[in-house]
A and B are shown apart, each in its own frame.
Chain A
């Protein structure tokens, strides 16, 4: 079964450093998302991406965050200057064309900011 692949599985970074989280969505999917889950809290929407541009973003997704789909297969989330409160599991998800298709989530990247 097709999978969404995320790398790395775990990243530790110092406060103020830039991090790039990488995702390879399912190849024929058109809609791409980033969500995050702070330990013990619910899954929160960050950003959606369609047709090479951001279609929607949450209040969490401020100027420190950016997304790219540089080569037609990878989908990246960059955090420019990490803060302690950015520590969380970050999940990439993708879905197909039909509006009611389910989302396929990756296994996540655990980001720890120290």
Chain B
């Protein structure tokens, strides 16, 4: 069974602060995706990272895939209240037989206060 552990589980910060969310696994994934989920809604894709060591930027969000493709991080610069939500990492195609399904992480609930 592939597991993706996210840390921290909860994060409450002030507007303007920077933060990093981590996603770690003992499994190697062919790609890793980050989603954001609002209450009562489905996950919405933010980014897909494929290559070990890859860094992608989406405005104030920076995503990195670990060299060994087992871990990833999401860094938010100058957080805003609109960034509040549940952030999920999801690995695809684990080499240990995960096929094409997504294995979701445990989630990080972010709250950005004024």
Q: Which residues of A contact B (CB under 8 A)?
A: 4, 31, 33, 35, 42-45, 48, 55-56, 58, 89, 91, 93, 99-108, 110
Chain B interface bracket (under 10, 10 to 19, 20 to 34, 35 or more): 20 to 34
**Roughly how many angstroms separate A41 CA and B71 CA in the complex, as a whole number?**
21
| Distance to closest chain B CB from A103 (angstroms) | 7
Cβ-neighbour of B42 out of A44, A55, A108 (below 8 A): A108
Cβ-neighbour of B41 out of A43, A56, A103, A108 (below 8 A): A108
Cβ-neighbour of A99 out of B40, B93, B101, B105 (below 8 A): B93
As a 0/1 sequence over residues 64 to 101 of chain B, the CB contacts with chain A under 8 angstroms (1 = contact) are 00000000000000000000000010101100000111
Given A42-B106, A99-B30, A105–B101 Cβ distance below 8 Å? no
The answer to the question of B43 belonging to the interface, with a C-beta cut-off of 8 Å to chain A, is yes
A44 contacts which chain B residues (CB < 8 A)?
A: 104
Chain B's closest residue to A92 (CB) is B42
As a 0/1 sequence over residues 3 to 39 of chain B, the CB contacts with chain A under 8 angstroms (1 = contact) are 0000000000000000000000000001101010000
